[in-house]
Amino acid sequence: MKIYKITDGSQFKMKNKIKSLINSALTLAYDNGDLKSPETDEALPEVLIEEPKVGAQGDYSTNISMTLASIQKMAPKKIAKAILRNINDPDSFFDKIEIAGPGFINFFINKAAWYPILKEIHQMDLGYGAENIGKGKKIQVEFVSANPTGPLHVGHGRGAAVGDSIANILNFCGFNVEKEYYINDSGRQINTLGRSVFLRYKELFGKDIVFPGDCYQGRYIVELAENIKSINGDNFLNIEEATAVNNCARFAAETILAEIKEDLESFGVQFDNWFSEQSIFDSGKVAKAIENFQNKKIIYNKEGALWFKTSDFGDEKDRVVVRNNGLTTYFASDIAYHQDKFNRGFERIIDIWGADHHGYIPRIAASIEASGVNRNRLDVILIQLVNLLRDGLPVAMSTRAGEFVTLKEVVKEVGRDAARFIFLTRNSDSPLDFDLELAKKKTNDNPVYYVQYVHARISSIIRKGKENGVADIKWNAEAVNMLKESEETDLLKSMNRFPAIVKQSAMRLEPHRITFYLMNLASSFHAYYNKHRVLNDDPLLSCGRLYLVLAVKKIIRNGLGLLGVSAPEKM
């Protein structure tokens, strides 16, 4: 993965500055008796700085006088006044400070105070927005992990987009991230795959077959059978059926997996590790895990099966790990697999699953706890369904009947950027409507192009600027000081917010926050662009504005990069 330069704490942090100004004011007020000095053992509320939604309420505000009211036994407005009396602002950082509503203190920042942000953005460049919360910790994101029994469909695409973006964001925030795909290449459904293909194979030779309902129905099964026929002729008809089925299974799984890899590649998703389920059987880790739990007396025998006492660890009932026919369940390999993840040194692991697997969380958490690892080192993100639409009407999809729209088809039709972006326009918790026609539209309806267009427009301005003789765009205090328009301040404020958005997105594992932020920044830019000319008659002003829009361009690029979406120079 890429390594980002992260300079911890070097970002321009308005909130922290205001916070410290208030804290000094409080100290002063305690000293001179404007406010009652707190008892030493008293828990003081933290000074919280927030951005009001309404412009008239200032750039920032704090509710500290309300939270102090009960401790001070004083009316919030009186406390606010006492704080104001003691605020020291020698650099005239504030234009004005107001007390409003029930006792909010609203701060109006001097425009000039925003300018250093620009310098910051240009200096940090590719690293702007990176908050070092990971501190190099090893973290694993496991996602997609679709069974190699059929092609990836749109639902997998959503998981891929979310997983890849989360990995990008965490990497950006200083985690040492590994992306992993778990291949279910063992067990019953692989056998079913083999049976399905073998039946179709027999069919190709004119044999009468009965194709059971639990077999895979799709066209691709017939294609796999045709491939086998062209390679092996009728050889598989002349060997023992079990062997033939097994051969078909191996061939089919390998072929499908290769296609899955290809599809993901063209979707822009690359994994660091492809982990085979079979490999944890081969290495004896499953057997070892079971034995270990038996020694701990948390696996018991009932009616010929082995049960893991997950109910001792918060699950609602116990779960079978070895069936009475001697076969292990998937849960057994999952136990070993998750143990293996932690043994590989990951401090945290993130599993991204379809929402239909949510019932699985308690038992996996139980197995982790039982293995002596704190369960909160695992995060599970559940991805809700994707409803595929065309012009507002549902596109029929049924895995059972083998009719589903594959990820490949969608990417081919709407493009990778549009697909990835749209997958990230919702919280993973919410079902997502994906309209193929809308995704192709190149209008305001389609947020991808709305954001990308900002990047292209700015690139164009910069090209134009070069033609006009502006060789390099750099910090010029005099020029930057000319950025006085309200739309310019809006842009500066919005850009200042980016690191906080990234941080929140990383902590809560929610990439859609970046998506929304980018749409918002794009909107501020387009409004600015339509109202003011960057390249204008005044060379100094043009210089300042170029410096401004180049910063916007960098943030758009960084943000889109986190989503895995390209930032085009031209559109």
Least separation in angstroms between residue 441's CB and RNA is 8
Inter-helix orientation angle 188-204/219-232, to 10°: 70
CA atoms within a 13 Å half-sphere pointing along the CA-CB vector of 199: 19
- Closest approach, Cβ 260 to RNA, in A, equals 15
How far is Cα 160 from Cα 553, in angstroms, rounded to an integer? Answer: 26
DSSP state, 406? Answer: B
Q: Are 494 and 487 in contact (CB under 8 A)?
A: no
Whether the CB-CB separation of 131 and 200 falls below 8 Å is answered with no
- Between 239 and 540, name the residue whose CB sits nearer to RNA: 540
Least separation, in Å, of the C-beta of 204 and RNA?
26
Closest approach of RNA to the CB of residue 137, in Å: 19
Cβ closest to RNA, residue 220 vs residue 236: 220
Nearer to RNA, 58 or 157 (CB): 58
Question: For residue 316, what is the DSSP state?
Answer: S
CB 520 within 8 A of CB 547: no
> Sheet containing 305-308: which strands, arranged edge to edge?
299-302, 305-308, 319-322
Nearer to RNA, 118 or 534 (CB): 534
What one-character-per-residue DSSP string does 328-353 give?
A: BPHHHHHHHHHHHHHHTT-SEEEEEE
For residue 304, the minimal CB distance to RNA (Å) is 5
Q: Give the total residue count for the chain.
A: 571
Which helix (H) or strand (E) segment is 199 a member of?
Answer: helix 188-204
Closer of 124 and 280 to RNA (Cβ): 280
Residue 513 C-beta: closest distance to RNA, Å: 6
CB of 124 or CB of 551, closer to RNA: 551
At 192 the three-state DSSP class reads: helix
- Closest approach, Cβ 462 to RNA, in A, equals 8
Q: Measure Cα distances from 540 to 137, 473, 485, 536 in Å.
A: 46, 12, 15, 9
When the beta carbons of 238 and 443 are compared against RNA, the nearer one is 443
Nearest-approach distance from CB 231 to RNA, in angstroms: 26
- The pair phi, psi for residue 181, each rounded to 5°, is -115, 125
Instruction: Find the helix packing angle between 361-370 and 330-343, rounded to 10°.
Output: 50
Minimum Å gap between C-beta 65 and RNA is 9
Shortest distance, position 551 Cβ to RNA, whole Å: 15
Q: What is the 3 state secondary structure string of 75-138?
A: CHHHHHHHHHHCCCCCCCCEEEEEEECCCEEEEEECHHHHHHHHHHHHHHHHHCCCCCCCCCCE
Evaluate whether 340 touches 280 at the Cβ level (below 8 Å).
Answer: yes
Per-residue buried b or exposed e for 279-292, using 16+ beta carbons within 10 Å of the residue's own CB: ebbeeebbeebbeb
Distance CA 566, CA 420 (A): 10
Closest approach of RNA to the CB of residue 425, in Å: 7
In degrees and rounded to multiples of 5, residue 350 shows phi and psi of: -125, 125
C-beta of 107 vs 236, nearer to RNA? 107
Nearer to RNA, 112 or 382 (CB): 382
Question: In the chain, count of helices (H) and strands (E)?
Answer: 20, 15
Nearer to RNA, 303 or 478 (CB): 303
Smallest separation (angstroms) from RNA to the CB of 493: 15
Separation CA 431–CA 452 (nearest Å): 25
Cα 135 to Cα 4, 71, 171, 422, 537, distances in angstroms? 12, 37, 10, 31, 48
Cβ closer to RNA: 289 or 432? 432
User: How many whole angstroms separate alpha carbon 57 and alpha carbon 63?
Assistant: 12
Is the Cβ of residue 139 or residue 365 nearer to RNA in the bound state? 365
Taking the least distance from each CB to RNA, the nearer of 207 and 532 is 532
Report, in Å, the least distance between residue 494 CB and RNA. 13
